[in-house]
């Protein structure tokens, strides 16, 4: 999941921002959100896992 | 009220620009990053080539499902469309999986997602190349 989030965040950063600093900020922000949502959904499913 | 007057010269340049944009879009779909490379956007070209390539190689390495056109159900058809998005890398994924997919393990299932994400990401990149060539994006 971390690898997936990292690769997609880098691509999104280059896709949607032009200035290097903006790209880095966008990459970090989208990486954080990917991980947050992934782990959040994982925990949300936990009560129904058994 | 202003009226736009289109001279034959501007119309011709518009047409050639549109053709170039279309070529960039198709090239970007066939080879990830090529659409940006044609516009000398080297950073984006390299990043899209590397990221889409990495997703395809990892997905195929995990023995994810590379869908065929004869999938049978709607999910397989959608998966085929997503996989086709990676252009020539679809063939690379096929080559990289001599023993076929193995989705009986979690790794294979993750691999399928990696391959689909590579295709969709490449479609986004090709669309961006098309829009950039038309002058709509920077």
Domain that holds residue A14: 2-39
C-beta atoms of B55 and A7 within 8 A: yes
- Please determine, for residue B1, whether its predicted confidence score (pLDDT) is greater than 70: no
Answer yes or no: is the ipTM higher than 0.90. Answer: no
For chain B, give every domain's residue range: 21-133
- Distances in Å between the Cα of B30 and the Cα atoms of A35, B6, B40, B60 are 31, 34, 17, 18
Q: What pTM, to 2 d.p., does this model score?
A: 0.85
Residue among A19, A17, A26, A22 nearest A9 (CA): A26
- The residue whose two tokens read 């390495």 is B61
Looking at the structure of chain A, the number of domains it has is 1
In a domain, A8, yes or no: yes
Q: Closest residue of A to B137, CA-based? A: A16
In a domain, A44, yes or no: no
In a domain, A45, yes or no: no
C-beta atoms of A15 and B124 within 8 A: yes
Please check whether residue B36 touches A, CB under 8 A: no
Query: A46, exposed or middle or buried, with CB in 10 Å at 0-12, 13-18, 19+?
Result: exposed
Mean pLDDT of chain B: 87
Contact between residue B63 and residue B97 where contact means Cβ atoms under 8 Å apart: yes
């Amino acid at each position: 999941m971390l690898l997936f989030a990292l690769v997609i965040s880098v691509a999104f950063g280059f896709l949607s921002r032009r200035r290097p600093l903006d790209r880095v900020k966008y990459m970090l922000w989208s990486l954080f959100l990917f991980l947050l949502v992934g782990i959040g959904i994982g925990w949300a499913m936990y009560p129904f896992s058994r | 009220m202003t009226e736009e007057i289109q001279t034959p010269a501007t119309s011709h340049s518009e047409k050639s620009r549109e053709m170039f944009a279309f070529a960039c879009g198709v090239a970007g779909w066939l080879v990830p990053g090529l659409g940006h490379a044609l516009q000398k956007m080297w950073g984006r070209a390299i990043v899209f080539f590397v990221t889409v390539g990495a997703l395809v190689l990892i997905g195929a390495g995990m023995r994810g499902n590379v869908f065929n056109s004869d999938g049978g159900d709607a999910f397989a058809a959608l998966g085929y469309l997503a996989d086709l998005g990676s252009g020539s890398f679809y063939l690379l994924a096929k080559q990289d999986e001599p023993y076929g997919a193995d989705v009986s393990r979690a790794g294979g299932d993750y691999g399928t997602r990696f391959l689909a994400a590579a295709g969709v990401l490449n479609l986004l990149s090709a669309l961006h190349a098309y829009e950039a060539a038309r002058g709509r994006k920077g």
